[in-house]
Amino acid sequence: MAAALVTNIKQLVNTRTENELLRGEALANLPVINNAFLLIEDGIIADYGTMAEIENRKLKIENTINAAGQFILPAWCDSHTHLVFAASREEEFIDKIKGLSYAEIAAKGGGILNSAKKIEAASEDELFNLAWKRLEEVSKLGTGAIEIKSGYGLTVEGELKMLRVIKKLKERSKLSIKATFLGAHTYPLEYKENHTGYIDLIINEMLPQIAAEKLADYIDVFCETGFFSPEETETICKAGMRYGLKPKIHANQLHLSGGTQTGVKLGAVSVDHLETMDEDAIGILAHSNTIGTLLPTAAFFLRMPFQPARKLIDAGCALALASDYNPGSSPSGNMNLVVAMSCIQMKMLPEEAINAATINGAYAMELEKELGSIMVGKKANLIFTKAIPSLAAIPYYFGTNLIDKVMLSGEWV
Ligand code: NIG
Ligand code: FE
């Protein structure tokens, strides 16, 4: 393919020569180059530097893109979503406005079980088409890599159907996609009093087929009071690990569930949510290689206290930010809004939020070798902003779309 030279970039953001999972003070270190150029060859970042350095490079490029006034960032790496679902849940949204809690809605057979009924009735093609539209939507909003979970199937057929849809999305989309098996999202009604029966189904029926068809990269469990206990979480994750699926788990969302401790003990890639944390959970996470993935739009939508980002950063935790795009707790996959909420409500600096939504998000999907920063050899997954005065404008103008164009593997979205 032809090469493209991007010139006059007002600021090239997150330029790195090495990969490093960022924690503590390092999260605020966001390297940039002002008045920069960027060379893309065959969809890969081939070179970059200041405009003054272009002369020395003796580049003869036909295709030049003038990015005067624009900032260029690595595309967002959204490491936690439930993007495959059959229908929205506005009825529950209204119930919540009227005062019901997430747990009360779930207890009424709403919530995850409501989505499971809709998945059962939908065909693989229908689910694929709906998910494809959502992928198109989020890619235009700057997302270039995304993790997608099953977990609305809750039967062998349902979970396999969801994971096959994710596999097809992986094969056809320009976004980099990782698949997570979340059979342990809730107990189906028929197993409400028979937890062992459902866990056996996950371990003995679902996992072997998922492994045989290579349908998942990770295993997830909703470790939460009234859902899966730490012991159940451990049993299920260990079974997944025997098939090579590393854990990425839902932890400490509604209660001090023990999910963080369990995740760290298992060497999970990430523990996600973390709305409800105490000193013990924070300390254990800080002294581990497990990433804490914060989902501020879920806290916002459920009217919960936001995640204690500052405490987590100060303790030395490695943090990523993700959208949790799903019909129950975050019907938005807009990572720009996630970044804005992180700055506004969790007091993260724009630099911290951008690092957490790019390079650390890539780490939370084990994609750091190909994505998440401006580094020679990485994929040209790029956000071109509109003309903005500074990087802080991205979270500052929280309701305005400041993205001009998005490039994935060197091609415009
Ligand atoms: O990440 N908390 C568990 N799972 C999802 C919500 C699922 C749903 O309500 O449909 C979450 O918030
Ligand atoms: Fe989630």
25 and 128 assigned to the same domain: no
- Please report the pLDDT score of residue 58 as a whole number: 74
**What are the counts of helices (DSSP H) followed by strands (DSSP E) for the chain?**
17, 16
237 and 143 assigned to the same domain: yes
Protein residue closest via CA to atom 9 of ligand 1: 328
Question: Of the candidates 265, 270, 257, 174, which has an alpha carbon nearest to the alpha carbon of residue 217?
Answer: 270
Sign of the Cα pseudo-torsion (338, 40, 179, 239, in order): negative
28 and 93 assigned to the same domain: no
Is residue 389 in some structural domain?
A: yes
Is residue 189 in some structural domain?
A: yes
Complete DSSP assignment for 302-352: TT-PPP-HHHHHHHT-BEEE----BTTTB----HHHHHHHHHHHH---HHH
* C-alpha separations of 294 from 29, 74, 119, 347 in Å: 19, 19, 27, 13
Q: Which atom of ligand 1 is nearest to the CA of 328?
A: 9
Protein residue closest via CA to atom 1 of ligand 1: 324
- Please report the pLDDT score of residue 23 as a whole number: 98
pTM tops 0.95: yes
Q: Which residues of the chain have pLDDT under 50?
A: none
171 and 231 assigned to the same domain: yes
CA 222 – CA 324 distance, rounded (Å): 13
Question: Of the candidates 46, 108, 118, 58, which has an alpha carbon nearest to the alpha carbon of residue 85?
Answer: 118
Determine the longest span between alpha carbons in the chain, in angstroms. Answer: 72
- Please report the pLDDT score of residue 1 as a whole number: 54
Protein residue closest via CA to atom 8 of ligand 1: 328
25 and 174 assigned to the same domain: no
Complete DSSP assignment for 61-104: -SEEEE-BT-EEEEPEEE-------S---HHHHHHHHTT--HHH
* pLDDT tens sequence across 115-155: 999 999 999 999 999 999 999 999 999 999 999 999 999 99
51 and 151 assigned to the same domain: no
Protein residue closest via CA to atom 3 of ligand 1: 222
Q: Which atom of ligand 1 is nearest to the CA of 298?
A: 12
Ligand 1: lining residues by beta carbon, under 6 Å: 82, 111-112, 115, 222, 250, 253, 298, 324, 326-329
45 and 186 assigned to the same domain: no
Is residue 148 in some structural domain?
A: yes
Is residue 235 in some structural domain?
A: yes
CA 379 – CA 19 distance, rounded (Å): 14
Cα of 228 from ligand 1 centre, angstroms? 13
Cα of 115 from ligand 1 centre, angstroms? 10
- Please report the pLDDT score of residue 106 as a whole number: 84
CA 138 – CA 389 distance, rounded (Å): 24
Cα of 121 from ligand 2 centre, angstroms? 22
* pLDDT tens sequence across 183-222: 999 999 999 999 999 999 999 999 999 999 999 999 999 9
Residue found under tokens 């090579």: 244
53 and 187 assigned to the same domain: no
Cα of 80 from ligand 2 centre, angstroms? 6
Q: Which atom of ligand 1 is nearest to the CA of 324?
A: 1
Mutate to test the pocket of ligand 1, among 149, 225, 250, 321 (most ligand atoms within 8 A of CB): 250
Mutate to test the pocket of ligand 1, among 81, 222, 275 (most ligand atoms within 8 A of CB): 222
In total, the chain counts a number of residues equal to 413
Is residue 368 in some structural domain?
A: no
Is 69 in contact with 11 (CB distance < 8 Å)? no
Write out the two tokens for 44. 């890969």
Q: How many domains does the chain have?
A: 2
CATH number of the domain that residue 285 is part of: 3.20.20.140
69 and 82 assigned to the same domain: no
Cα of 35 from ligand 2 centre, angstroms? 39
Residue found under tokens 């005067």: 68
Range of the domain at 263: 77-363
Is 162 in contact with 86 (CB distance < 8 Å)? no
Cα of 150 from ligand 1 centre, angstroms? 11
Protein residue closest via CA to atom 12 of ligand 1: 329
Backbone angles phi, psi at 99, to 5 degrees: 125, -10
304 and 201 assigned to the same domain: yes
Q: Which atom of ligand 1 is nearest to the CA of 222?
A: 3
Write out the two tokens for 81. 């979503």
107 and 186 assigned to the same domain: yes
Ligand nearest to the CA of 96: 1
CA 2 – CA 39 distance, rounded (Å): 11
Which domain-ending residue is among 326, 341, 363? 363
Cα of 379 from ligand 1 centre, angstroms? 31
Cα of 160 from ligand 2 centre, angstroms? 19
Q: Which atom of ligand 1 is nearest to the CA of 254?
A: 2
Protein residue closest via CA to atom 5 of ligand 1: 329
CATH number of the domain that residue 386 is part of: 2.30.40.10
Mutate to test the pocket of ligand 1, among 78, 88, 112 (most ligand atoms within 8 A of CB): 112
279 and 329 assigned to the same domain: yes
Contacts of 372 (CB under 8 A, 6+ apart): 14, 19, 74, 77, 145, 358, 359, 360, 361, 362, 363, 378
